[in-house]
Structure 1
């Protein structure tokens, strides 16, 4: 289970702001946020088991974020990696066919444009409208409370922030679930233990929180706060970067 919100062209000074949590088994080997030492220009954490990543940026003006789509049958072993899909898109490479992958939701920003991509319940790609968009483990348009909480935190940051990521990282620590909404027939929200934005669990929980903020002039930052299995902070990293592409006014 993961949750994120993306503000795309939602503020005059901040054309791109991303805030999200990666939830995963604590035993899964992971490298923290860093410039990848392969000449790719990717700035991201790394899944050392699958080799890809869940969220990253490049200095070629790309950002990609993926979440798993939760289905009753779960993931099928042996399918192409969704983390590699993120890496391929960050590098501008043609990925493997998305209909062969386990279900996912994805937001990609590239060359000044943004889109939403999914392969469940069918393959779909659509432009991302200006505004704040939540992304979790269900349908893109479903109002899961945890998604709405992160959307609200990003909205508040846009209009109240001094430009530092600390308040957004703190908001991603929320362990208070919101009230369950009315969902369309056949759709369900997260299980009770996955309902909070921050999941504290010794086996499977929130591994890290990440914030990306890009200014209108193309300068930006990406910050990651990582956590021990007991929920305590294990580290915090911030990397400043420049995008070669400046944004147009909204």
Structure 2
């Protein structure tokens, strides 16, 4: 998962909205969201190469999602797969504090990551590069391949669009939120961040929705939770031409 937009307590009807894109090489095999047989069972997609996932939920109301921190000069080939962190949190029987304490102790075993985790009422982001924990307070937030709310052009663009939508739309529309995630506007050269990749790649990675032959946005996911804890999960999977090739929907009653 490479970009998430989160609206917390910005609408009375839906106190939590998460709109997220997963960006990955198209050759990397993956399975669309489904119920896993783990205990407790989780609902998530699956990375068929390493066995982890980028985003998932449980019926008890736990939510977790992962973004990688872009740091090409510091990537270690022997690092553990970051996708296991989402699975670990969703299947953990520990409290959040216990989980976070254990996570801090093993943070150096992974390449850079942000882990969004918690319940639909209380979400936090852990960044292993800074060893920092940030609360997702009421408001509109963006998380990409830097720290929470880093003002990268695509983060700022998505936060602005979601903020405007939440304040002006009488009725929540999944199509409108998917359109937000399909924004392929590239940032101008003067606004590109410097994350250690070439300018060509910075440009290619600068839109909310990335499309290229070998790498791009593989899936868009919406998690919408209403004030009664009724949650819906909607996912669209794309090919390397940006066309929808699969759709998954699910509904949960969170505790």
- Give the TM-score normalised by the residue count of structure 1: 0.87
Residue deviations 1:7-37 (CA, integer Å, cap 9, x gap): 1233322221101111101011100011223
Moved more, 102-111 or 172-181: 172-181
Offset at residue 216 of structure 1 (A): 0.8
Cα distance between partner residues in 2 of 1:111 and 1:207: 25
SS in 2 for 1:20: strand
Cα distance between partner residues in 2 of 1:187 and 1:40: 38
Which residue of structure 1 lines up, in the alignment, with residue 110 of structure 2? 101
Which residue of structure 2 lines up, in the alignment, with residue 113 of structure 1? 122
- Give the TM-score normalised by the residue count of structure 2: 0.86
Question: Measured at CA, do residues 241 and 82 of structure 1 come closer, stay the same or move farther in structure 2, by a change above 3 Å?
Answer: same
Which residue of structure 1 lines up, in the alignment, with residue 10 of structure 2? 10
Contact 1:9/1:131, CA 8 A, preserved across alignment: yes
Which residue of structure 2 lines up, in the alignment, with residue 247 of structure 1? none
SS in 1 for 2:73: coil
The answer to whether the aligner puts 1:228 opposite 2:236 as a matched pair is no
Matches within 5 A, 1:18-33: 18-33=18-33
Matches within 5 A, 1:136-175: 136-159=144-167, 160=169, 162-175=171-184
Which residue of structure 2 lines up, in the alignment, with residue 65 of structure 1? 65
Contact 2:181/2:208, CA 8 A, preserved across alignment: yes
Moved more, 196-205 or 163-172: 163-172
Tell me the C-alpha RMSD between the 2 structures: 2.4
Offset at residue 40 of structure 1 (A): 2.8
Contact 2:127/2:147, CA 8 A, preserved across alignment: no
Which residue of structure 2 lines up, in the alignment, with residue 123 of structure 1? 131
Offset at residue 175 of structure 1 (A): 0.9
Offset at residue 4 of structure 1 (A): 1.3
Offset at residue 183 of structure 1 (A): 8.8
Contact 1:14/1:214, CA 8 A, preserved across alignment: yes
Cα distance between partner residues in 2 of 1:206 and 1:182: 21
Cα distance between partner residues in 2 of 1:161 and 1:228: 33
Contact 2:219/2:238, CA 8 A, preserved across alignment: yes
Task: Show structure 2 runs of 5+ residues with no match.
Answer: 94-98
Task: Show structure 1 runs of 5+ residues with no match.
Answer: 245-250
Question: Measured at CA, do residues 199 and 22 of structure 1 come closer, stay the same or move farther in structure 2, by a change above 3 Å?
Answer: same
